[in-house]
Amino acid sequence: MKTQRTPGRTSPGKGRRIADPVQLRSIPVSAAMPLKSFHGTYDAPTRKPVFDMHYAVETGVVLKGRMRRFFDGVRQDCGPGDIWFCGLLEPHGMQILEAPCEVFVFVAWPPMFREARFPEAPSLNWMAPFLLPPSKRPRATPAERRQALQQVNRFLTTSGLPDAGRPVLLRLSLLEILLPLALRASPDAEHATQETASSNRLAPALNLLENSRQRISLDAAARACAMNRDAFAREFHSLMGLSFIQLNLRHRLNGVAGALASGDAPVKALARDWGFTDSSHLDRLFTRQYGCHPQQYRDRHGH
């Protein structure tokens, strides 16, 4: 069955391949503050997408205008009320199609969803929509789009609530938006639960990676997770679809690409700063990922 390019639908195989710099961002969510939100308006369409990735999971609602979300090989066009999901350390991009484009974004610490268990629905897994492949994630129906807009507007217009109540209302708003979509995604709940537990075990290694520009050995990453090397390597690859060494390399190459586009530091200095043996080592690996030499990339993308 051919997938139509309609709001809120994905187009498998027609999405932009993730080749531009993907910034690995550290979003400060934790057990003490497990949920954050962003409410903003983009005033003009954008010519090309921007990409990032983060450990926290993300879901958002378009309130006005239109945007396009990019995953690896999949794109999703979103209009008012449409909802998107970004999983654990999943590279994703965003491009504004129609402005002004107003969005409301929830960013959550994955273990938070373990606390939202209801004995009346033991198979409900709130993480399921985030763990499914992008082409298989549930899409909001017209009624669910209306409900999502109502929930966000209710949160934005609530006045007189004590400051301590705002985080609670934010969480309730997220769960109400997520509920029908999580119910549809939850038949694979056992597998999703296993992946959530795995992601929590691997979080120390991901945090180590986020906060370093240098090459991190597999042994060091395994020690951070209190696991042996082989078990860590197997579990990491099973969850992420690539090895820790590959992700570490991607992180460092993306760091170099961002520095090339935004500054004028010599390539030799960037090689040293991001843990490469020398500029020749960086040049070889950079060209393999981006299809051009570092200086060529700077010439094309630099400000």
Asked whether the predicted pLDDT for residue 105 surpasses 90, the reply is yes
Domains and CATH numbers, the chain: 22-187 (2.60.120.280), 212-301 (1.10.10.60)
Is the four-CA dihedral 158, 160, 164, 165 of positive or negative sign? negative
Burial class of 143 by CB neighbour count within 10 A (0 to 12, 13 to 18, 19+): exposed
* pLDDT average, residue stretch 62-90: 92
pLDDT, position 10: 42
> Are the C-beta atoms of 56 and 31 separated by less than 8 Å?
no
3-state helix, strand, coil in the chain (%, to 5): 45, 20, 35
Mean pLDDT computed over every residue of the chain: 83
Q: Given the structure tokens 């209306």, which residue do they identify?
A: 146
pTM assigned to the model: 0.66
Q: Is the pLDDT of residue 62 over 70?
A: yes
Return the DSSP state at 17.
P
